[in-house]
Amino acid sequence: MSFQLNSPLDMHLHFREGAMLDLVAPLSAHSFSGGVVMPNLVPPVDDVHRLDAYERQVRAATSPLGFEPYMTLFMRPYTSEELSELRDRIIGVKLYPAGITTHSDQGVKNMDDVADTLRMMEEMEIPLLVHGETQGFVLDREVEFLSTYEQLASRYSKLKIVMEHITTLDALRLLDRYDNLYATVTLQHLMITLDDIAGGLMNPHLFCKPIAKRPEDRDALLSAALAPHPKLMFGSDSAPHPRDKKECCGCAAGVFTAPVALQILVELFAKHNALDALQAFTSDNARRIYGVNPPKKVVEFDNCGDVIPERYGDVIPIFAGQSTSYAITRVDTEL
C-alpha cells in the first residue's frame, strides 16, 4: 500500500555545527520540507552575527534538497532594536531554564529577567518556544513547570507559546485551557516509556530530556496525535550525539530520529488506522499555527519493509537495526 505526505515539517530539530551539521542536516532535508532549528549551541545563537553565520551553514547543507530552515534565537534580555531587526528572520525565541538540558547553561534563571523581552515579543507577534522543565525530581520536572506556563499564558495572553516536546497527560490537558498555548511532541514520546530506557539494561540511545514518562502519559499523547489534536505538532527533537558520548558514563541526552521518523510515524499511524490524521500532525497544524508556507515536497511511502541503519556516521539512530514495515520510495521536490 502506498501513502503520501505533502510538505512534512519537523518543528523541533537539533543540527549542531561543523561536521555533525554536515552529516545530519541533509538527512532531515531529504524527507522534510522544513524544520525549526534550535539555537542552543556554544556560543548560543543570540545575536544577528551568530544568526547570520549559523543560517548560512544550515542553508549550505540543506538548500539543495528543498528544505526551509526556520531559525530561532536563544532567549536572553533583548532590546526593542534587536528584536525589530531580527523578527522577520526567525520563527521564534527559544527559552531554556538555565542548566536544564544540553548547552543551556546560559539559559533563563528568573522569568522576571526577560519580562520586558516577552512583552516586546507579544507586541511584535514573535512566538515563544519553551523547554518546560524545572530542576526537580526527574519524573516531575515537566508537571512542576506547568504553573509557569499558566503564568506566561495569562500574563502575555496575546503571545503565542509553544510547549516543546511535551511528555505528560497533564501538559496535554493544559493545551485546552489557554487559547495561546500550543505544543510539539516527539516520536519517542509517542512510543516509549521510562521502562524502555531503564526497566532492564540501560538503553542510552532512548535517553533524552524530558525523559519518557509513564504508560498513561504515552497513551494520552498518542491518542492526541492520532485524533489529531489541532494544537499539537510533530517536533522530533532529533538530537545527534557521537556514539562515545551516548555509550558512556554521563550519557548525553538526546534521541536521533530524523532520518527514520516519518517511516516510523507512518507505520504507527497505520497500525492505529489513523493515516488520514498524519498530514495534519506532520504539516497542516504547524503551517496554520505558525503561518508558514514551506517548499512543496511530496514524500511517498510503501509498506515494502525496510531496516533502520545501524548508524549514520558515528551517530546511532532510534531502533537501530530493527525492521519497519514502511519505507520512503519517492521524494518529489519543487526547487
Query: Is residue 271 scored above 90 in pLDDT?
Result: yes
Q: Give dist(CA 194, CA 202) in Å, integer.
A: 10
Name, in order, each residue with C-beta under 8 angstroms of 208's C-beta and a sequence gap of 6 or more. 186, 188, 237, 239, 253, 254, 255
Beta bridge partners of 182: 162
**Which position among 10, 46, 237, 284 bears the catalytic label?**
237
335: confidence class by pLDDT, cuts 50, 70, 90: low
The reported pTM is: 0.96
Structure-block grid coordinates of residue 5: 505526505
- Residue 307 is part of a domain; what is its CATH number? 3.20.20.140
- pLDDT number for residue 123: 98
> For the chain, what percent of residues have pLDDT higher than 70?
100
Q: What is the pLDDT of residues 90-117, one digit of tens each?
A: 999 999 998 888 777 888 988 999 999 9
Please state, in angstroms and rounded to a whole number, the distance separating the CA atoms of residues 74 and 41: 9
Mean pLDDT of 327-334: 94
Note if 140 is an active site residue. no
- Give the pLDDT mean for 260-286: 98
For the stretch 33-55, pLDDT in tens is: 999 999 999 999 999 999 999 99
DSSP letters for 144-201: HHHHHHHHHHHHTTTS-EEETT--SHHHHHHHTT-TTEEEEE-HHHHH--HHHHHSSS
C-alpha cell at 285: 497544524
| Overall domain count for the chain | 1
Question: Could you list the residue range(s) of the whole structural domain that residue 135 is in?
Answer: 2-333
Q: How many CB atoms lie within 10 A of CB 160?
A: 20
pLDDT at res. 200: 92
